[in-house]
Amino acid sequence: MVIKPRYESEELKLYRILNRRMELSDEEVQHYWSLEKGYEGELQFDAWLADLPGSENWLILNDLMLECNRSTFQIDSLLLVDETLYFFEVKNYEGDVYIDGNGRWLTLAKKEIKNPLLQLERSESLLRQLLQNHGIKTLIEPYVIFINPHFQLYQAPLGQPIIFPTQLQRFSKKLPKSLIIKDQNIKFAHQLVALHLEESPYKRLPRYTYDNIKKGISCVSCKSLNVNYEMGTLICNNCAYKEEVEAGVLRSVNEFKLLNPDNKITTASIHEWCRIIESKKTIRRILSKHFILVPQGRTSYYAESHFI
Ligand SMILES: [Zn+2]
């Protein structure tokens, strides 16, 4: 049973939008791709776990951001079954990696990558202290899961809490089968979810201002901003995908809100943001259908109904 489902992080959502609306530096592009890849790997792991026999009696918590002694740490996946809390750090690494004499993890091109065992150790220690502080007693079993079959680690020391793709099936056999979910475990799982922190993604983003991001409506299929508007339909010049204007404008409003949380949704602001729709009337019609107008004379704006 999934107690806390996984969604794309706000950071990933924002990077996706920024990637098509501004020039990212090489470093930013690399970071963006690592977010995409990481998320894809986590989804694969979720699907694998959900498919195992007996998984309906496990409590699964995804993507937790916790804090202990002023240090925050992130957990990809937790599995609570009987008396044990399995803690998974999921890595979607690809290609060949080796560990050198100093314990550094390097690609064949000698580029150092983060040692996930150190990350696992740190998170485990913080999780242990956090549970102790809350008077929770449970066994913790941490693992780094390499989910990508195209990953090979050379000179990996034995006896480490690492599960490679070829070992996943054997590992799954070791996970306990539970006949019931204990009430006490459900309570514990909800206690953990209550400790989850929502971290603001904005401080980790590339620098941008409203003026330096490209305006326009993105194609829902190929994500290009090379889209034209004709008689109620958006047509992508890149892939010829057609979309009804309303859906495209609403998606753009979402992107506008995410990128510019301090700017108000008005006919003028969304008209400028969408760029390709000449008629302000069309914009107003769509906004008034889906949002509520907060009347403030010349500074009236649209809000989602639950904000009023
Ligand atoms: Zn397209």
Distance 113 CA to ligand 1 centre (A): 35
Distance 130 CA to ligand 1 centre (A): 47
With bands split at pLDDT 50, 70 and 90, how would you rate the model's confidence at 204? confident
Q: Give the CA distances from residue 110 to residues 26, 101, 105, 115, 162, in Å, rounded to whole numbers and listed in that order.
A: 18, 13, 9, 14, 22
For 215, residues 6+ apart whose C-beta sits below 8 A from its C-beta are: 272, 273, 274, 275
Q: What is the pLDDT of residue 258?
A: 94
Instruction: Give the HSE-up count for residue 113: Cα atoms under 13 Å, Cβ half-sphere.
Output: 20
Closest CA to 188 of 143, 140, 142, 138: 138
Distance 237 CA to ligand 1 centre (A): 7
| Between residues 11 and 157, the one the model is more confident about | 11
Distance 234 CA to ligand 1 centre (A): 10
pLDDT in tens, 87-136: 999 999 999 999 998 989 999 999 999 999 999 999 999 999 999 999 98
How many residues in the chain? 308
Distance 245 CA to ligand 1 centre (A): 14
The answer to whether residues 249 and 274 touch, using CB atoms and an 8 Å cutoff, is: yes
What is the pairing mode between strands 2-4 and 59-68? parallel
Distance 225 CA to ligand 1 centre (A): 8
Which residues share a beta bridge with 20?
none
Calpha distance 40→256 (Å, rounded): 25
Calpha distance 94→110 (Å, rounded): 15
For 203, residues 6+ apart whose C-beta sits below 8 A from its C-beta are: none
Q: What is the DSSP string of 154-195?
A: ESPPTTSSEE-GGGHHHHHHHSPP-SS--HHHHHHHHHHHHH
Distance 299 CA to ligand 1 centre (A): 35
Residue 199 tokens, joined = 């971290």
The answer, yes or no, to whether residue 85 has pLDDT greater than 60, is yes
Calpha distance 112→107 (Å, rounded): 6
Distance 291 CA to ligand 1 centre (A): 27
Distance 33 CA to ligand 1 centre (A): 20
pLDDT in tens, 267-286: 999 999 999 999 999 999 99
With bands split at pLDDT 50, 70 and 90, how would you rate the model's confidence at 308? low
Distance 217 CA to ligand 1 centre (A): 11
Rounded to 5 degrees, φ, ψ at 187 are -65, -45
pLDDT in tens, 6-53: 999 999 999 999 999 999 999 999 999 999 999 999 999 999 999 999
Residue indicated by tokens 């995410």: 258
Distance 70 CA to ligand 1 centre (A): 45
The answer to whether residues 287 and 270 touch, using CB atoms and an 8 Å cutoff, is: yes
Distance 98 CA to ligand 1 centre (A): 40
According to DSSP, residue 82 is labeled: T
pTM of this prediction?
A: 0.89
Distance 209 CA to ligand 1 centre (A): 25
The answer, yes or no, to whether residue 305 has pLDDT greater than 80, is no
Residue indicated by tokens 């242990």: 128
Distance 240 CA to ligand 1 centre (A): 6
